[in-house]
Structure 1
Amino acid sequence: MTTMPRGGAADVHGVVRRRRAVAAAGAVCAGLLVLSACDKPTPLSTITVGQSSVSEEATCGGEGKTLTTEALTACLKDTDIKSIKVDPDETVRFGVDPDVAEKRWTILMNGQPLVEDTDKTYRTIPGSVFFNAQYGAQGDSTLVSIKAGDGKKESQAVTGLWSFKLKKDD
């Protein structure tokens, strides 16, 4: 029979626990290092119609700096944007991150303001508006953009733009 000093078996478990603790600490440090190297993503904007929704990071800006007129014009001409089908009888819901709402935002239809700016995170508009010629719609699709402001009511400054294409769903 072999005898072991009292507490000898506990040493093995202690070594394993120390290794696990060091490995966990290393993983946490590596994770923090990777996160610190990443750029902070721009806030999201979401459009929901019925049970479908589409979200997008800023097409232009979104970091809080005012965009130039040239950058804004080029951004409104961007063709690589997400789209969603809209039944004219449905309600279209627009949502923005609280950071965007805090700086005030508005909805543009084909580059023109559709509603007043707001500091709320959520707005709703009847789907029929986006295909009505009275509001500047042309055909079966409409470019809709969410324009972030600088925090001043009715300011013309633009700090971010999120664009979507609304396609008529019959």
Structure 2
Amino acid sequence: MRTAAALGAASLGLVALSACEQPTPMVTATVGGDSVSTEAACYDDGKAIPQDDVRKCLGKKAEKTISVGTGDKLRIGVDPKTAEDGWLVLVDGKPALPEPLKKTYYSFPGEAFFQQQSQSGQPSAPSKNVQVTVVQTSGGDFNGIWHVNLKNKTGE
């Protein structure tokens, strides 16, 4: 009987501990049948990330990579709470869209991420890799930051 009570207490303790550590919302990037999901580089339960930390978080490197070719569609999916607040897409630190998105996923043409312009304004050779950053935003604050590396299939 004591063994059963001890096991029950131990199990209850593990459940209580696991409830304290909630995983961060995920961001998923999908190309065709391939997809990668990543946890946030910075996230504090949806609260604003302090400005000092935002720069550090934006500078982190993506841990996950997905290959994208010309003609492929890249679909980025976010948690419903992230969509409710609004989210931005940055490509190598530069905004890809003028306004925050409010959908749980959005499709982008793959080639749009690798086109670059030279200083003269003319198109230059496509990039081989770019980092896409998803930023959950609310009222001008950054509430979450996720990174995914895109590899250009065409540039291989």
Asked if the contact 2:61–2:147 (Cα under 8 Å) also holds between the matched residues in 1, the reply is no
Q: Does 1:34 align with 2:14?
A: yes
Higher relative contact order (CA 8 A, sep 6+): 2
- Post-superposition offset of 1:28: 6.9
Q: Does 1:144 align with 2:129?
A: no
Number of residue pairs the alignment of both structures matches: 144
In 2, the alpha carbon distance for the partners of 1:96 and 1:28 equals: 37
1:11 counterpart residue number: none
Deviations 1:6-49 (A, max 9, x none): xxxxxxxxxxxxx9xxx6x9877654431321201111110001
Structure 2 stretches lacking a partner, 5+ long? 118-122
Give the letter for the 2:147 counterpart: S
In 2, the alpha carbon distance for the partners of 1:126 and 1:80 equals: 20
Asked if the contact 1:62–1:161 (Cα under 8 Å) also holds between the matched residues in 2, the reply is no
In 2, the alpha carbon distance for the partners of 1:122 and 1:88 equals: 20
Q: Decide which structure has the larger Cα Rg and report it.
A: 1
Per the alignment, do residues 60 and 31 of structure 1 end up closer, same or farther by CA in structure 2, a change over 3 Å counting?
A: same
In 2, the alpha carbon distance for the partners of 1:163 and 1:92 equals: 14
Of Structure 1 and Structure 2, the greater helix share is in 1
Give the letter for the 1:140 counterpart: K
Of Structure 1 and Structure 2, the greater strand share is in 2
- Post-superposition offset of 1:76: 1.9
The two structures, once aligned, show a CA RMSD in angstroms of: 2.5
- Post-superposition offset of 1:67: 1.4
Structure 1 stretches lacking a partner, 5+ long? 1-18
1:72 to 50, 54, 70: 54
In 1, the alpha carbon distance for the partners of 2:84 and 2:137 equals: 9
TM-score w.r.t. the length of structure 1 is: 0.74
Asked if the contact 2:68–2:150 (Cα under 8 Å) also holds between the matched residues in 1, the reply is yes
In 2, the alpha carbon distance for the partners of 1:139 and 1:166 equals: 10
TM-score w.r.t. the length of structure 2 is: 0.80
In 1, the alpha carbon distance for the partners of 2:8 and 2:89 equals: 42
